Amino acid sequence: MRHVQFNETLTRGQSYVYLADSNGIENPRVVVGKLKTHGFPRDPTPGCASGFICSDNYTNPFEYGHIMAWELGGPNVPENIVPMYAEWQGSASTTHESWRNMEIAIATLVRGQDNQFIFVAVVEYANNGNTYPAQATRFSQWDQLFDWDDYRIPTGFTVNVEPVGSAFGQQLIAAFLTPGGLAGNHAAVCGALILAYGGTPSYTKVWDHSALPPQDRAALIRNVTAFAVDDAWVAHGALRDAQVAEGVMDLEAAGLQTQDAEEYAWAPFSPVHDEAYSFINDHPDEVQQVLETDYHIPHIEAQAVTPGIMVYGYYHGNPLKRDVKAWLQRRQKERDQRRKLKEKVKNIKAAKAYMLKHPK
């Protein structure tokens, strides 16, 4: 275990972190610091003290999260960083509670009152899982809507904002936040904080971080919707081309000229859907089916993916967290597959037409 003090700088309030040992690594358990808003741009966020790698080549849904926010005077050090569900951590929301909403609320409370409030966070770790490779593989294979179980991922946070002038605020300052070193009783005060909060906070919030938050669930579904549109479109085109080729042969066998046979065979499949937009609006059910079968989206949630969501996911930028080059390569690959399928059907049609005209 470690008790670490960080001295005040232009961007950082006087702060303290207690890290507990867990399976050979360190997890931040308690963070205490004087709040200050500064407006300076942030340096890149460091990795977690635990060694957990967030957004690891898109094999997990986590981002590096400051327990005490940088913009509120939190230290930009590994001891203050833990894995947090990405959307919940980084995006303000009007429909769901989020860590970012909390940071904004605290900033509003303390703005213009630097060093007059103390941020106190106790972090819980109730998971015992140590099977990261298996969970990462499951996630990378598009089965993503599950609650992660890893001993390095927090399962809860209790956050309080205490006025420095309160009796408890003065106790926190004496134990943790006096420049030059921690008080002799800092470990005992830290242990008491973990058990119960003894102050009169101006702000308090208890977070459950043990399950996939609803906004992250929605974001993951949005991410795969663009892929599902492409996959469904390819499958639809392949089935259509095969049925058209079969129809042409049947009609030619019945005595129709090739041009007429092709016109009649294509009629049930008009329009051709050369654009994803028209395919989506005519066949959203096929996209929903692919979401269920290929991307493991539960039926009720797949049915809730409307044509509007599909169009937005397909046309408005790459899915979140996807490398641009990789996305473009995938899109081109699928278009090449579609072209090859058309050529294959065309060759089959030509061969069968030749056989009909030149029977042995």
What mean pLDDT is predicted for residues 229-234? 92
pLDDT of residue 319: 47
Region 49-69 average pLDDT: 93
Q: What was the pLDDT predicted at 49?
A: 97
Average pLDDT, the chain: 89
What's CA 28's distance to the chain center, in Å?
22
Both tokens of 59, joined, read: 């094999």
* pTM of the predicted model as reported, rounded to 2 decimal places: 0.82
Enter the tokens of residue 85: 């569900």
Structure confidence at residue 54 as a pLDDT band (50, 70, 90): very high
CA dihedral sign, ordered 97, 158, 174, 50: negative
pLDDT at 4: 96
Q: How confident is the model at residue 253 (pLDDT cuts 50, 70, 90)?
A: confident
Give me the mean pLDDT over the 328-343 stretch.
64
State the pLDDT at residue 360. 60
- For residue 124, the cross-strand partners are 156
pLDDT of res. 221: 93
Residue 89 has pLDDT above 50, yes or no: yes
pLDDT-derived band at 116, boundaries 50, 70, 90? very high
Q: Does the structure show a pLDDT above 90 at 66?
A: yes
Q: Considering only 158-162, 211-215, 331-335, which range has the smallest mean pLDDT?
A: 331-335
Q: What pLDDT, on a 0 to 100 scale, did the predictor assign at position 314?
A: 84
Residue ranges of the chain that CATH labels 3.40.570: 2-211
The residue among 117 and 58 whose pLDDT is bigger is 117
Average pLDDT over residues 172-185: 95
Q: How far does the chain reach from its first CA to its final CA, in angstroms?
A: 86
User: For position 258, what pLDDT does the model report?
Assistant: 86
Q: What tokens does 25 get? A: 């690594």
Q: Which CATH class is domain 2-211?
A: alpha beta
Q: Mean of the pLDDT values across residues 217-231? A: 91
* Residue 30 bridge partners (DSSP): 18, 122
Q: Does position 324 have pLDDT exceeding 60, yes or no?
A: no
Cβ partners under 8 Å of residue 42, min gap 6: 70, 71, 76
Least confident segment among 106-115, 202-211, 294-303, 331-340: 331-340
